[in-house]
Amino acid sequence: MGAALSVPRAMARLAPAFEDIRIAVLDDHVVVRYGIELLIGHSPGYGWTGAASTLAELLRLLISCPCHVLVLDYQLSPDEIDGWSLVRYLRSRFPHIRILVYTSYDSIKIASIVRRAGAHGFLSKSAGLDPLLDTIRQLAAGETVYPAGLPEAAAMPDLAGEQPGLSPREIEVLRCSLQGMNVTSIAAKFCRSVKTISAQKQAGYRKLGVRNDHDFLMMYADARFEPGWLRLG
């Protein structure tokens, strides 16, 4: 990912009780970015840091403008790092920023994955914008916010869930495969070698009991097969 980025001092603390909670957004949908910006602009106690549609834009924003809470989507465009890898990367570079994954993936499995990656909260876009401000305030106060019934991260031995036991990286690769991406494109997206991506894809296939792309697509198309952790947003 390149050299480590310095963290502005203002990021190194949570929002004091009487300071506006400053918010940044990473989402590749302009309607979502604009909607959250309007919401923040009309809500006392909250401040707008800015929005980005790519990781590069976000990094430029965060090294120049402090924020307390980062709201990000789980799935970005095919050429952008996203999901578990994105959360892990941002946590390592900006450990004092609170991360809320705000996504169309309404799945307990995805919530489990981002929690294990280090995100502080998870909220489905299907809930709309109404609960977003309360969730952001909870995160800024040092709390974590996840769906009811989700076990603590330390108590989740199999974060892919279901019987196949897929790893987060295998899930990422299979999700991208469903979007029509080949192993070369997936390798570029996550900054891994083609050999590694191919091995992760084949490992996922073995765990699912399929032999090739055709079998996997047929399995996914089967109405009886409902893998929430692979649902396209």
pLDDT band at residue 143 using 50, 70 and 90 as cut-offs: very high
- Most confident range, picked from 55-64, 178-187, 200-209: 55-64
Q: What is the pLDDT of residue 154?
A: 40
Which domains does the chain possess? 9-155 (3.40.50.2300), 168-230 (1.10.10.10)
Collapsed DSSP state (helix, strand, coil) of residue 103: strand
pLDDT tens readout for residues 19-59: 799 999 999 999 999 999 999 999 999 999 999 999 999 99
Taking residues 194-217, what's their average pLDDT?
85
Q: Please write the tens of the pLDDT for every residue from 147-177.
A: 876 655 543 433 344 445 788 888 888 888 8
Looking at the chain, how many residues does it have? 233
- What's the pLDDT band for 137 if we cut at 50, 70, 90? very high
Cα angle: 97, vertex 56, 63; to 5 degrees: 45
* pLDDT averaged over every residue in the chain: 80
**Percent of the chain at pLDDT exceeding 70:** 79
Tens of pLDDT, residues 66-95:
899 999 998 888 788 888 888 988 999 999
pLDDT at 151: 57
Look at residue 25 and give its three-state secondary structure. Answer: strand
Give the span between the Cα atoms of 125 and 103, in whole angstroms. Answer: 5
Read off the pTM. 0.67
- Does the pLDDT value for residue 179 go beyond 90? no
Alpha carbons 52 and 86: distance in angstroms, whole number = 14
Matching residue, tokens 């390592």: 92
Encoded tokens for 14: 């949570």
Phi, psi of 69 (to 5 degrees): -130, 130
Evaluate if residue 10 carries a pLDDT over 80.
no
What pLDDT, on the 0 to 100 scale, is given for residue 223? 44
Residue 209 CA, chain-centre distance (Å), reads 27
* pLDDT at position 157: 38
